[in-house]
Amino acid sequence: MLQIIAGRSGSGKTEMIHRRIRQSVEENEVILLVPEQSTFQNEKRLLDTFGAQKAARVQVLSFKRLYDAVTAVYGGYTQKRIDDGAKAVLMSLAAEAVSDRLVLYSGRSKRSDFAEMMLSAVNEFKMCTISPEQLLSAADKTQNQRLRQKLQESAAVYEAYEALLQKAYSDPDDDLTRLHELLLLHPYFEGKVVYIDAFNGFSGQEKKILSCILEQAQTVCVALCCDKSSAGMVSQSIFREPDTTMRWLMAEAQSIGIDTEPIQWLSEPHRYRYPSLQAVEESIFRFDGDPYYFDDGAVQIYEAEDEYDEVRQAARQIAKLVRDDGYAYRDITVIFRDAALYKNIIQSEFQKFDIPFFLSDPQKLEEKPLIRLILSAFDIIHSSFNTENILSYLKTGLTSLKMDEVYVLENYIYLWDIRGKRWKSPFTMNPDGNVETMNEKELAHLEELRQKVMTPLLRFSERLTAAENGGDMTKAVYYLLQELDTPSRMKYLVKQFEDNNELKQKETEARIWDITMSLLDKMYTVLSDKKPDTRRYDELLRLMIRKHPISDIPQTLDHVMIGVAGHIRMQPQKAVMILGACEGVFPAVPVASGLFSDSERTALLAFSLPLYDALEGFSYKEKFNAYAALSLPSEKLYVSRYLCSTKGEKCEPSVIIKELCAILPEVPVKRYSHLKQEEYFFTERQSFEECASRWKEDSAASATLKNYFRHAPQYADQCEAIERMLQEEPYHIACADKAKRLFGESMFLSASQTEAYYQCPFKYFCRYGLKAYPRQRASMNAGMYGSAVHFILEKLMTHEGAEGLADMEPEEWLRLIDRYIEEYVQEIGGDAERTSRFMAQLEIIKRNLTILLRQMTDEMKAGSFVPSDFELQIGPEGEIPAYELELPTGEKIQIVGKVDRVDTYVKDQCKYIRIIDYKTGNKKFALSDVLYGLNMQMLLYLSILQKNGKERYSEENRYRLAPAGILYMPSTPSAKTGDYHSEKETNDALKEQRSSLRMNGLLIQDAAILQAMETDGKGIFIPVKLKDGKIPDTVKDLASLESYGHIFSYIDKKLMNMAQSLYKGQIERLPVKGKDTDGCAYCDYRTVCGFEEGKKTRPVINRDVPSAIGIIDKEEGNKNG
């Protein structure tokens, strides 16, 4: 006997099933067949309703449990059961085995994505009871050549896969087929009453089981969600699937020859407490244009700004229901269509509201440290020891290196760009970079770390190479894990999670070792008789891993259930929240995927090949899932959508919201601005975020909350930070004592430090206060280029002298440059591990130095100034004592540095000092920069030499010292070589080179001294061209002795202001900005400071030298006057 109970959602179908079970259980064996996810809920309900004794007489089964029950009675298959991971590997091997028969898929047979696609297709074939022979039969029927080829090749792979399975495995996808075979032999359901509930449709395998049940059972009662009014319009109804199922059941019963009672239609809604919910169920997707003019508060619609606002509103509603209306969390369900869109936002936002929830979100196994360790080891071998792969391997935390050792090693390999085969050779380069003193101790430590890393990896590589089959490769993986003592390290990792009270993570990680061993066991079993190469083994291992997601289990009994429509257990709830009711999102737009296109699927269905439905059918199924979710709640329905996604895409409302608004026109569509004050604040953490977002708001609620959080110890500092941010208060170190300890009681400053401070105080704080130095490669960058040039010039000038160099031929220069380049390279670690690019750049230095030497020797011959020092050190251990200034508060600052070259000239008992700095770039000196604390280096050094250089330069006070000026000498000449076909081209190139090497700077306003620099006064070398021995009025880059004194005094003031500000903790984010100056350009700390365009800056105004001198003279003159 077949009985069918039909009705729409909430009409009492399940209640009637349970009433009939109560009647049947007194006299018959009863089976209740429900979907797998509903078994626990039904068992609990029967227990609560019937009591333990009667409930025990009802078997609550799913199809999976039914298989277990029947095989427990009649026996089953004893072969080893295979899981999805092993099936994926077998499918890949099957595709490889028939690759010579593949045409359409010949290039994809070994690819993992093809194996996964074919596995999905074969799973569908099995569920739909389609054999390889049926695929070949369909191929013979079609006129579509591509479809025919696809069917033939699919059948070939399917057959090969089945052949591999049957050797040793039992496929769970075949369980229902085997169950059907058993039921054909054994009358398991004879005399039993079978109730079937909560299904909308059945697969081909399940239909065969149902045929046996209909034939054997005393009575079969099936409940289906159908609408009587649309029962005759199956193809156009959202109830298409259950309607089709009902027709099939009746036809099957008739073909078997059993009686069918008239369908019992249930039409009265029993679920809904409020008329609006009943109206939604009655009209959604079937609206006839007759709206319901009432708003009883049971249905609410919300338009959010974005997904975050949408989830926050859902959290507010949940918190309100629990706090104000006495709901339990388990009374509430949240449903969406796109898990990827919401899962991370929900995890973040619900925690702020202290909402316990369960969201079934299987984690990817390949993201776990142990699996990353294994996969990274294969990546290392297959990439010939790629550095990124080695770092990924080390940062799992499961190797023999501690994390601080990993960071030390990472800095070294970044510094020297260690990659590939260099990992296999001992480290020899200086850990401190391109400096003269080798750090032997640190190098030895780094070499020890390298060996710790490489020894197990090299052994792993050797074992893989020697492996005779996939089983041996699996052993190689296991031996690597043992050599690294991974089991102990995994226990330590689990203990860390436990100590940090991260219990969910602890439970997950505790399972990973066993899961990994199970995976390796399967790989060993499947591949012991195969000999894949290491890349193929790696690919198969990754394929197996991808098929082993890690599922969570609920952490509490009372929690909000969250899930995807169509997958979540659809049991009646008091309150349901539907997220993402946007066009194309919910209901989703079906998209063809898998082996067959939509047109191909439609054609195959026409050949009576019982595949899943085409896209049209899935479209109706999407609407049915939406209907089921909307009709689920008995008391509250919340539907929301976002106006604009976080990606910036505008979104339109879906048919759900459009129809709700049409059905219930008096239900308002709310937004955040419509919420009442009391709807904003729930938990302390959430309320603080809400309060912070409206800190400037002038309201009683805002004032109350701010007062509360200011006095809450855990929030007081955050409140201060918010107020500083909103008021744009400068960054500062609140405690002056801490500032003094950070920057030192006696502050040692270099010119580059003062430059950094005046570019931006916060930059100085990061670099020289926190010592957060950016990592740099030991490559031939601008800094190293300059160091090499300085080193070689110092050697040349010190050993050969200016006059000696002037008398040499260029060939001799080249010989000497070669020698000193070799010395330089040896001093910074040698050339054993230098790149070809580095060595090529040394050749460029050699060429440039040859040109520069010609310029220098010509310049020295052209004047009377004599080079006195090269690479002159200023500081406690230097040739010139450090320059000391005392602050009004008693602290002292000392200026240290190094001067590239010092030239002197004696006239009238006065020794004039000129400083020359070699620059690799095209830097131009601008005196106006000094007004802002910038570009002070050369003038500062000149001031120090005048004040502290008496012992070195005055020759026992025979001469007073005076500034002659500062000059920048470019050390990178024009790229033109002078090697041209005509004399004119050669002369033009040499002229351009000389012009590119012309010095610039600030010189003394004294024609006689200027003529001593360049006797003929032509201005070839210095930026001044004399006319008849006099200075033309057009020359601007000059300063008088008095102005030099004012400039030096002004620089002292800048230094003292800087020190005083630092001791006061003033580290303001205040970059300089000007036409040629940008404190943020190339700044390593831009991501830290949070500076944005429009924020406060310190503008730099370019002025000519006379204007800048006028400002300095006026300020210093007034001070001295």
Q: Give the tokens for residue 407.
A: 């960071």
Most confident of 108-112, 540-544, 1113-1117: 540-544
Q: How far apart are CA 610 and CA 138, in angstroms?
A: 11
| CA distances for 439 relative to 176, 433, 633, 779, 846, angstroms | 70, 9, 72, 18, 28
pLDDT digits (tens, 9 = 90+) for 668-715: 999 988 888 777 888 889 899 888 888 888 888 888 888 999 999 999
| Of residues 118, 166, 51, the one with CA closest to residue 595 | 118
| Of residues 824, 863, 704, 683, the one with CA closest to residue 315 | 683
| CA distances for 454 relative to 419, 458, 461, 476, angstroms | 13, 6, 10, 15
- Give the residue-averaged pLDDT of 882-899: 93
Instruction: For 619-644, give one letter per residue: b (16+ CB within 10 A) or e.
Output: bbbbbbbbbbbbbbbbbbbbbbbbbe
Beta bridge partners of 965: 914, 1003
CB atoms within 10 A of CB 616: 13
**Cβ-based burial of 23 (10 A; exposed 0-12, middle 13-18, buried ≥19):** exposed
Q: How far apart are CA 760 and CA 740, in angstroms?
A: 19
Question: Of residues 110 and 580, which shows the higher confidence score?
Answer: 580
Q: Give the tokens for residue 920.
A: 């690799």
pLDDT-derived band at 967, boundaries 50, 70, 90: very high
CA 684 to chain centre: 30
Residue in this structure with the two tokens 């009442």, named with its chain if needed: 676
Q: Give the tokens for residue 319.
A: 């918190």
Give me the DSSP letters along 205-266: HHHHHHHHHHHHBSEEEEEEE--GGGTT-GGGSTTHHHHHHHHHHHHHHHHHT--BPPPEEE
- Give the residue-averaged pLDDT of 843-850: 83
Instruction: For 270-303, give one letter per residue: b (16+ CB within 10 A) or e.
Output: ebbebebbbbbbbbbbeeeeeebeeeeebbbbbb
Residues in Cβ contact with 326 at an 8 Å cutoff, skipping those fewer than 6 apart: none
pLDDT digits (tens, 9 = 90+) for 364-386: 889 899 999 999 999 999 999 99
Q: How far apart are CA 736 and CA 741, in angstroms?
A: 9
Return the percentage of the chain with pLDDT > 70, whole number.
Answer: 96
pLDDT digits (tens, 9 = 90+) for 863-885: 999 999 988 999 998 999 999 99
**Secondary element (H or E) of residue 678:** none
Question: 3-state DSSP helix/strand/coil percent for the chain, to nearest 5?
Answer: 55, 15, 35
Residue 918, helix vs strand vs coil: strand
pLDDT-derived band at 497, boundaries 50, 70, 90: confident
Residue 911, helix vs strand vs coil: strand
Q: How far apart are CA 259 and CA 750, in angstroms?
A: 101
Q: Give the tokens for residue 47.
A: 């227990």
Q: How far apart are CA 716 and CA 712, in angstroms?
A: 6
Q: How far apart are CA 871 and CA 641, in angstroms?
A: 69
C-alpha torsion sign, points 1074, 1076, 1077, 1078 = positive
Q: How far apart are CA 96 and CA 109, in angstroms?
A: 6
Q: How far apart are CA 384 and CA 368, in angstroms?
A: 24
**By mean pLDDT, which of 241-255, 423-437, 947-961 is the weakest?**
423-437
Rg from Cα positions in the chain = 42
Please state the φ and ψ torsions of residue 684, each to the nearest 5 degrees. -65, -45
Q: Give the tokens for residue 553.
A: 């289990």
Q: How far apart are CA 352 and CA 350, in angstroms?
A: 5
Average pLDDT, the chain: 89
Please state the φ and ψ torsions of residue 747, each to the nearest 5 degrees. -90, 120
Confidence (pLDDT) at 978: 47
Question: Of residues 361 and 394, which shows the higher confidence score?
Answer: 394
Q: How far apart are CA 595 and CA 121, in angstroms?
A: 6
- Sheet of 299-304: strands edge to edge? 357-359, 560-564, 332-336, 573-578, 633-642, 299-304, 669-670
Beta bridge partners of 31: 59, 194
Give me the DSSP letters along 945-1000: HHHH-HHHHSTTTTSEEEEEEEEEEESS--S--S--SSHHHHHHHHHHHHHHT--E
Residues in Cβ contact with 612 at an 8 Å cutoff, skipping those fewer than 6 apart: 124, 128, 601
Measured N-to-C along each axis, helices 369-382 and 470-483 cross at an angle, to the nearest 10 degrees, of 120
Is residue 964's pLDDT more than 80?
Answer: yes
| CA distances for 692 relative to 678, 807, 888, angstroms | 16, 75, 42
pLDDT-derived band at 477, boundaries 50, 70, 90: very high
Q: How far apart are CA 2 and CA 215, in angstroms?
A: 10
pLDDT-derived band at 991, boundaries 50, 70, 90: confident
At CB < 8 A and 24+ separation, what contacts does 693-697 make? 695/722, 695/723, 695/726, 696/726
Please state the φ and ψ torsions of residue 700, each to the nearest 5 degrees. -65, -40
pLDDT digits (tens, 9 = 90+) for 1052-1082: 999 999 999 999 999 998 999 988 888 898 8
- Give the residue-averaged pLDDT of 207-215: 96
The counts of H helices and E strands in the chain are 41, 25
pLDDT digits (tens, 9 = 90+) for 789-842: 878 888 888 888 777 888 888 888 888 888 888 888 877 767 666 777 777 888
Question: Of residues 172 and 979, which shows the higher confidence score?
Answer: 172
Q: How far apart are CA 610 and CA 594, in angstroms?
A: 16
Confidence (pLDDT) at 983: 65
Residues in Cβ contact with 221 at an 8 Å cutoff, skipping those fewer than 6 apart: 3, 4, 5, 17, 20, 193, 194, 195, 196
Omega before 587 within 30 of 0, i.e. cis: yes
Is residue 139's pLDDT more than 90?
Answer: yes
**By mean pLDDT, which of 620-629, 632-641, 764-773, 1087-1096 is the weakest?**
1087-1096
Give me the DSSP letters along 12-58: SHHHHHHHHHHHHTTTSEEEEE--GGGHHHHHHHHHHHH-HHHHTTE
| CA distances for 435 relative to 750, 873, 1110, angstroms | 19, 17, 43
Q: Give the tokens for residue 400.
A: 């023999």
Q: Give the tokens for residue 320.
A: 């309100």
Cβ atoms 15, 273 nearer than 8 A: no
C-alpha torsion sign, points 412, 415, 418, 422 = negative
- Give the residue-averaged pLDDT of 245-253: 95
Q: How far apart are CA 355 and CA 562, in angstroms?
A: 12
Give me the DSSP letters along 712-769: SHHHHHHHHHHHHHHHTPPPB-S-HHHHHHHH-SEEEEEHHHHHHHHH-HHHHIIIII
